[in-house]
Structure 1
Amino acid sequence: MIRNYFKIAFRNLWKSKGYASINIVGLSVAFCISIFLFLTAYFQLSFDLFHKDGDRIFQAYLFSNNPEKEEKGSSMPMPLTPALKAEYPEVEAAARLMNGSSLVEYKGKYFDKQVMLTDPDFLKIFSFPMLKGSAETALNDLSNIVISQNMAKAVFGSEDPVGKQIQLGSDGGNQKQYIVTGVLGDFPDNSTIQYDAFIRIENHEGYQREKDHWDAMSHNVYLKLTPNADQASFEKRMKSFSKKYFADNITGLIKRGAKPDERGDIFAVRLQKLANIHFDKDISGGASSVTLIYALMGIACFILLIACINFINLSVARSFTRAREVGVRKSLGALKNQLFVQIWGETSMICFVGFLAGLLLAYALLPQFNATFKGKLTLAYVFQPDTLAIIFGLFLLVTLIAGGYPAWQMSKFNAVEVLKGKITLKRPGILRNSLIVTQFTLSSLLICCTIIAIQQVVFLRTQPLGFNKDQVISIPVGNKANGQQVLRRMHNELDNDPTILGISGSAVNLGVGKDHSTSRSVIGFTYKEKEISSDWVSVDYEYAKTLGIKLLDGREFDRAYPTDSLDRVIITEQMAKMIGEKDPVGKYFQTDTAGVKYQIIGLVPDFHLYSLKADQKPITLHLSHSESINYIFVRVTPRSLAGAMDKLKLVWKEVAPQADFIGSYMDENTDSWYKEEERLSQIFSLASGVAILLSCLGLFAVALMVIEQRTKEIGVRKVLGASISSIVYTLSEDFVKMVILSIIIATPLAWFFMQKWLDNYSYRIEISAWIFVAVGISAIVIALATVSFQSIKAALMNPVKSLKSE
């Protein structure tokens, strides 16, 4: 019997090749796009879940309930970790982690590597695989270094690295020797913590100065609690810890009018779960957004739903053309469940072919998808047991929804009514209309979201940043050269060049350059009993001039004043407001009790050191010949911009022959701040394009089926004198009404969801009503074009052919 079912199914599908092809194409495209989107979401949601005992690992952060708004920060003081381990037995292990980079030297060869500074407990907290050495002892000594497998291959080749000695640091006299005591497996792509090597945090140059200071924030802290410890109860127990060690912070906040939050805290040490770190922008500057992940999953479901709607509409429409077949089978004794299995089997075959085609399409297009969306997906994720279970469940769900309902409807046909010709499709059903409205609602919703997302990206990229980013080239120095020395040499080479308008340097890049690196230094201190927090940026002479930042008061750093490199600073307007000084030039402040007093010599307008996704922060610029210059900025004349990069590359070979030249234009770097938004708009564009294509495909097929059912009606209308335009209007009217209804439903939904998304931005657009009007008109035009093709074709038919047979 099963063999007979397959035969009948194959014959019916072959007989209706057009409809089968439409269904297979729609399902394969939907499956392909959904696989990409679900894999992307799965990859993001899997971040840091590979660590053993991940539910017991946390990142510590500082909570401050400021009068203006609450703030969270992950930067911690050096003595915090030893104090937590000493005072709380619930802390099984604790480790400080400081970002770093260093020049690695071995046998005269140099390598730029990311060498992190941490404590021995790091290897006990995280379960990165230890390939060589012991996690218990690998970082016991200050001269120990644990390297990654990738670094071992790059530096040592086929040699066994354990026991070998390497040098860290530049040639400027600050090199230090380390012994390799372990090799860690490379971090996976879904790891928040990335590394080339680890050394002890005591090797940090400022460690001795900061180890007892609770006001010097410099690193992240990770804790692993004992199995019986609970996060909520541990945070309650840490209230006394916060009052003991951060009393000055609490006092300062109270004087400013701060009130306890709902948990009774003004200032507190709290914990963030490891699984949430990747998405937490406030605490850890998370690289991704949960909203984006949910949007991806929602879009994937939308596309699958639209494909299912097409399938259901076509299957229901075709069921009426097969009504006599069902009636004959019933009259010959076929049971309802037999008819259901047969018809559902046919739709399952279409689903299976569509799903298989979708997988093949995904395999073929995966490299292009990864390149477009900067992804790291592989189809290996598809063959994970949990992924296979989800895919199999999805396949069953689609076949049940798309095939089960039409099969159930057809199996219910009354044989007598069918054979008398009483079951027809002359009056459209509520289900069919509802499904068409649903799919066009989803398509219109996605198009509206796409336009709004694109407008927000354009808005962010075109907003004034407070400095002139045009005609400026940013050059990362790297670890192979001394930034201070390179900058001086560039001045010597280029100061007399008329095409060069300014040269300066900074420890912090503006935007994201080709080194893909970003950093931030925030300093907190008390000024006139107020808690002050400011971005602390090391810069060189002519910083404001090179970036086109105008002085409001005072002066810029000047080589004629030797003390400028010791204790002088320039601040922004927002910093002046924070310290409460209307005329700040000449005023002094002290960042810690043991530190120097800094004098303010200049005031500049506020500018954005980081992207517009966050609020503008107070900024303090300082000059120091002992601190690193990590980036060199060169402003060129507009006419010389085209050849400036090549010229600077040649100069770079003279001033820093040991370092690679990876200069980039600053306007491109600042655009890179909004990669996530651009990625979101690209995904929305892809999804909305696929959605409207599938919707039109389904509408085209349904229109074709309906017009076939109304062929004789069209013939009668023509005989009675109806014009072609009136016939086209009659056939298209119902479809246009459904599209208009879908736009009415989609508009408030799109406005609500995109308002929520835009609320995440400090600088954002206002949604215009014209967006929805334009989308509505476009949807109507697309629907008319889709339906009119068949309508005009039917209206032009010879009525004799339509009426000659009954």
Structure 2
Amino acid sequence: MFRHFLLIARRNLLKRKFYSFINIIGLTIGMSCCVLIALYVQHQLSYDRYNTRHDRIYRVLQTFRSVEKGQKITSPVAEDYQVWGCAPVGPALLADFPQVKEVVQFMSPVSLLLEYGDKRIQQENLICIDSTAFKVFSWKLLEGNPQTALVAPNSIVLTHTVAEKFFGHNNALGKTLRVDNEDLFTVTGVVADVPANSQITFNGLISMSTARNWREDDFKYWGYVDFYTYFLLKDHAEIAGMTAEIPAFLKRHNSEDPGYTIAFERMDDAYLNSKATRQPGPVGSMSNIYLFCCIGVIILVIACVNFMNLSTARSLERAKEVGVRKALGVQPSTLRWQFLLESILISMLAATLAVVLTKLSLPLVSALSGKEVDPKVFFSGQLALWMFILTLTTGILAGVYPAWFLSRFKPTEVLKGVFRPSHRNISLRKALVIFQFTLSITLIAGTAIVYTELKFLNNHDLGFTKDQMLVLNFEGDAQVRKNIESIKKTIADQPGVLSVAASRAVPGEFLPNAGTDSQRPDGQMENNGPLIYEIDFDFIPCLQIPLVAGRNFSREYLTDSTQAMVINEAAAKLYGYRHPADAIGKKFAQWGREGKIIGVVKDFNFRSLHTAVEPLTLRYGMPNSLNRIVVAIKAGHIASSIEAIKKTWKTVAPQRPFLYHFLDQSFNEQYESDQHFGDLLSLFSCLAIFIACLGLFGLATFTAQQRIKEIGIHKVLGASVYDIVVLIGKDFMLLVLIAIVIAIPLCVLVMNQWLKDFAYRVSISPGIFIFTAALALLIALVTISWQTVRAALTNPVRSLKNE
């Protein structure tokens, strides 16, 4: 019987090649999208799971809040915590909690100039880390001893890629690197490159004892922030017991700071589920994961709906087959199994093509998502199992209703020729078309909103000038710092240069918080922790940041370099000033410096537009705190100016590589993940509308064939091609219009949730939906007209010759 079913299924596929092609292509694309999305989701969910003990690794979250004496403080919310914290908490955890097996701490990444022989590379992303790193994290050491590699001062472990840059394929162990033209580091190990699905990334590991030699005092203070703390629980230890003891732990170690508290977070939650700030690496979005899963299901459902629609629409063609077989005694259950098997067979063909299509599409999807998916997954048994489940599920989902529908035909009606599809069945097909286009239009409108928001982000007035701004990165080189003013002047003398400034950081880069006491309107001093920019006299005018009150730092006032501070409007409000001018002349104390506020700048977006402008203080940075030189270049002189500055740099700082980037490019990198999200959404939206139109094309073709005699009669009676197109197409266009009406509120609901992630966002305008509706109607019209026009142009003699 099974062999007989296969033979009939094969005959039907070959007999109706056009409809079989539409079904197979639709299911192929739908299944391929599901596989691609599943691979992307799997990659996102696999972050940090390469650590063999990831289920027992936790990290310490910390809060640093200002609390006035006698003030009651509420419990912190998830957003109050940050991963970046102080050093003393690590040793204290190990001493107080028997549940803790190992503690590892590492510092913020640094960029150092590494030199070996004639090779000089400014190496980014080097982290100082405890010697217990290899006991907690599953980083594979290719050379060296994991027990001792990070113990001695001035020890460095390089990644395999970085080691090859300096030493080629030779053994790197024991080699000496010159660092920042001063220190000598010994290579004590080579570690395999960190997997792509790791939140903690690095190009090299420096022993923490090296950092202690640099700045030992920073390891003693609970208020100094520059460390990430992770710990490994012992087997069978429970984190709940540690959490319950946190109040007592804080009372023993840091009772003098009521604004400080800690919490513990699983490493498994760090990438997708953490709301803490100051993360050590990239973070994903669980809401995006859910959204892409929904999109995968939507696309597959649209493809299955195509199959159901075409199968039920073609019921008249198979009605006699069903009637004859029922008359011969075939049971309805047997017929259902036959039709279901046909569906599964089509699904199997589609699955085979889907694997090939997915393999070919993987580089494109990797480029759009910014996430590298390992191609080896195609040779895994896990993928084979999931493909089998997907094939079976798709076949059953697509075929169960047509199988039930076709098996219910009454042989007496069919064989007498009086069988006609019921209005209920026709209504179902219409409902399915509406369902398809509702989902497709929602995706298209959502994509339009995403790109509108991205365009808004790129064009939003940030409050400073970022175009034609060249940033020279000298990473605190001592010689550059010593001669910073003369270097600035030499660069400023080059053709095409408008102005030059220096600072510790530039917009878009990391900024520290600074404990700052400032005078309130009532004269009392209030402590807060605003962000801090350390800049020179020329920074504010170079970036054209507007002043709303007071003045900028000036060389004419000797005290400006030691006793002056400029704040932004948000900081003025933080300290209680409704009008920025009221803050001028008020006292402040910050990081060992006391003086008065001399100016207030307009709020400018020095961070991503995902967040609102935070309170900011700007103070004169002594040369030993500067890391960047900003050069404003005239439009049209970029290439020549860069070349001139490069030649100058070799003269004024021969010990330092010429490293530069443009401020607008680096600032826009903050929206890279949003851009990837928009690119993926647009890809899957286009595929969804394509599959929906594929089904509409098949239905239009079938409808035109069924009504060919009606069309012939209309033509004989004088109807034009336009009249025929309207006759056939109006019903379909009405369905698309209904889908548009349903899709609009659905899209608004979903996209408003997505836009909540942005502090600065567009409003969803009617124009987006007008554009989407026009596009959907145009696509549907073109799809329908292709076959309708063809039917309208057919000679009526051919369609009426049998009447």
TM-score (norm 2): 0.89
- Looking at structure 1, the residues matched to 248 and 555 of structure 2 have their Cα atoms a distance apart, in angstroms, of 49
Q: Which moved more, 1:378-387 or 1:23-32?
A: 378-387
CA separation of 1:122/1:501 partners in 2, compared to 1, >3 Å: closer, same or farther?
A: same
What is residue 84 of structure 2 aligned with on the other side? 75
CA separation of 1:702/1:426 partners in 2, compared to 1, >3 Å: closer, same or farther?
A: farther
CA separation of 1:66/1:203 partners in 2, compared to 1, >3 Å: closer, same or farther?
A: farther
What is residue 50 of structure 2 aligned with on the other side? 50
Offset at residue 460 of structure 1 (A): 1.5
Letter in 1 for 2:18: G
- Looking at structure 2, the residues matched to 426 and 732 of structure 1 have their Cα atoms a distance apart, in angstroms, of 21
Task: Give the 5 Å matches for 1:306-321.
Answer: 306-321=302-317
What is residue 472 of structure 1 aligned with on the other side? 469
2:100 aligned with 1:97: no
What is residue 288 of structure 1 aligned with on the other side? 284
Q: Select which of 140, 149, 166 maps to 2:151.
A: 140
Contact 1:91 1:224 in 2 (8 A): yes
SS at match of 1:187: coil
Offset at residue 321 of structure 1 (A): 0.9
SS at match of 2:632: strand
**CA displacement 1:3-54 (0-9 Å, x = unmatched):** 5544433332222221122222222333333333222222111111111221
What is residue 38 of structure 2 aligned with on the other side? 38
Contact 1:571 1:604 in 2 (8 A): yes
- Looking at structure 2, the residues matched to 505 and 156 of structure 1 have their Cα atoms a distance apart, in angstroms, of 35
2:230 aligned with 1:219: no
Letter in 1 for 2:115: E
Contact 1:483 1:630 in 2 (8 A): no
Task: Give the 5 Å matches for 1:523-672.
Answer: 523-525=514-516, 527=518, 530-559=526-555, 565=561, 568-580=564-576, 583-591=582-590, 595-597=592-594, 599-641=596-638, 643-657=640-654, 659-672=656-669
- Looking at structure 1, the residues matched to 50 and 690 of structure 2 have their Cα atoms a distance apart, in angstroms, of 39
Offset at residue 485 of structure 1 (A): 5.5
SS at match of 1:278: coil
2:236 aligned with 1:241: no
Letter in 2 for 1:317: A
What is residue 160 of structure 1 aligned with on the other side? 171
- Looking at structure 2, the residues matched to 776 and 296 of structure 1 have their Cα atoms a distance apart, in angstroms, of 23
Offset at residue 369 of structure 1 (A): 3.1
SS at match of 1:101: strand
CA separation of 1:655/1:2 partners in 2, compared to 1, >3 Å: closer, same or farther?
A: farther
Q: Which moved more, 1:614-623 or 1:38-47?
A: 614-623
SS at match of 1:328: helix
Unaligned runs of 5+ in 1: 254-266, 512-517
Offset at residue 192 of structure 1 (A): 0.6
What is residue 85 of structure 1 aligned with on the other side? 94
Offset at residue 211 of structure 1 (A): 2.4
- Looking at structure 2, the residues matched to 245 and 620 of structure 1 have their Cα atoms a distance apart, in angstroms, of 31
**CA displacement 1:384-427 (0-9 Å, x = unmatched):** 44444333211211111113332333233333322222333485
Letter in 2 for 1:77: C
Offset at residue 568 of structure 1 (A): 4.4
**CA displacement 1:183-238 (0-9 Å, x = unmatched):** 32221000011122222334326632222222111121112223343334422211
Identical aligned residues as a percent: 33
- Looking at structure 2, the residues matched to 483 and 6 of structure 1 have their Cα atoms a distance apart, in angstroms, of 79
CA separation of 1:438/1:482 partners in 2, compared to 1, >3 Å: closer, same or farther?
A: farther
Task: Give the 5 Å matches for 1:204-283.
Answer: 204=211, 207-250=215-258, 267-279=260-272, 280=274, 282-283=276-277
Task: Give the 5 Å matches for 1:429-508.
Answer: 429-477=426-474, 483-484=480-481, 487-488=484-485, 490-497=487-494, 499-508=496-505
CA separation of 1:560/1:115 partners in 2, compared to 1, >3 Å: closer, same or farther?
A: same
Contact 1:201 1:207 in 2 (8 A): no
CA separation of 1:159/1:221 partners in 2, compared to 1, >3 Å: closer, same or farther?
A: same
2:714 aligned with 1:709: no
Contact 1:97 1:221 in 2 (8 A): yes
Offset at residue 786 of structure 1 (A): 2.2
Q: Which moved more, 1:706-715 or 1:685-694?
A: 706-715
Letter in 2 for 1:540: D
TM-score (norm 1): 0.89
Unaligned runs of 5+ in 2: 66-72, 519-523
Contact 2:158 2:203 in 1 (8 A): yes
Contact 1:569 1:621 in 2 (8 A): yes
Offset at residue 778 of structure 1 (A): 2.9
Contact 2:494 2:641 in 1 (8 A): no
Letter in 1 for 2:215: Y
Offset at residue 531 of structure 1 (A): 4.0
Contact 2:476 2:625 in 1 (8 A): no
Contact 1:215 1:525 in 2 (8 A): no
Contact 1:62 1:269 in 2 (8 A): yes
Q: Which moved more, 1:543-552 or 1:776-785?
A: 776-785
SS at match of 2:50: coil
SS at match of 1:283: coil
CA separation of 1:314/1:383 partners in 2, compared to 1, >3 Å: closer, same or farther?
A: same
- Looking at structure 1, the residues matched to 495 and 156 of structure 2 have their Cα atoms a distance apart, in angstroms, of 48
Offset at residue 753 of structure 1 (A): 0.7
Contact 1:569 1:598 in 2 (8 A): yes
Q: Which moved more, 1:541-550 or 1:136-145?
A: 136-145
**CA displacement 1:602-644 (0-9 Å, x = unmatched):** 4322222211111211222233445353332111223434643
What is residue 129 of structure 1 aligned with on the other side? 140
**CA displacement 1:246-289 (0-9 Å, x = unmatched):** 54543xx6xxxxxxxxxxxxx52012221222233543444322
**CA displacement 1:341-362 (0-9 Å, x = unmatched):** 4433333333223222222222
SS at match of 1:62: strand
What is residue 780 of structure 1 aligned with on the other side? 777
**CA displacement 1:683-725 (0-9 Å, x = unmatched):** 2222221111111111010111122223334445556666655
Letter in 1 for 2:81: K
Q: Which moved more, 1:101-110 or 1:440-449?
A: 101-110
Contact 2:59 2:230 in 1 (8 A): yes
Contact 1:426 1:710 in 2 (8 A): no
Q: Which moved more, 1:518-527 or 1:681-690?
A: 518-527
- Looking at structure 2, the residues matched to 480 and 331 of structure 1 have their Cα atoms a distance apart, in angstroms, of 93
Please, what is the CA RMSD of the aligned residues?
3.0
- Looking at structure 1, the residues matched to 738 and 480 of structure 2 have their Cα atoms a distance apart, in angstroms, of 63
Q: Which moved more, 1:718-727 or 1:433-442?
A: 718-727
SS at match of 2:530: strand
- Looking at structure 2, the residues matched to 101 and 700 of structure 1 have their Cα atoms a distance apart, in angstroms, of 58
Offset at residue 559 of structure 1 (A): 4.9
Contact 1:483 1:631 in 2 (8 A): no
Letter in 1 for 2:768: I
2:510 aligned with 1:519: yes
Letter in 2 for 1:664: H
Q: Which moved more, 1:13-22 or 1:142-151?
A: 142-151
Contact 2:497 2:641 in 1 (8 A): no
2:325 aligned with 1:329: yes
What is residue 262 of structure 1 aligned with on the other side? none
SS at match of 2:323: helix
Contact 2:122 2:657 in 1 (8 A): no
CA separation of 1:764/1:249 partners in 2, compared to 1, >3 Å: closer, same or farther?
A: farther
CA separation of 1:336/1:503 partners in 2, compared to 1, >3 Å: closer, same or farther?
A: same
Contact 2:347 2:392 in 1 (8 A): no
CA separation of 1:321/1:433 partners in 2, compared to 1, >3 Å: closer, same or farther?
A: same
CA separation of 1:786/1:108 partners in 2, compared to 1, >3 Å: closer, same or farther?
A: closer
**CA displacement 1:652-706 (0-9 Å, x = unmatched):** 4444455554533323333322122222222222222111111111101011112
Q: Select which of 200, 203, 208 maps to 2:207.
A: 200
2:756 aligned with 1:759: yes
CA separation of 1:409/1:284 partners in 2, compared to 1, >3 Å: closer, same or farther?
A: farther
- Looking at structure 1, the residues matched to 503 and 542 of structure 2 have their Cα atoms a distance apart, in angstroms, of 11
- Looking at structure 1, the residues matched to 661 and 376 of structure 2 have their Cα atoms a distance apart, in angstroms, of 36
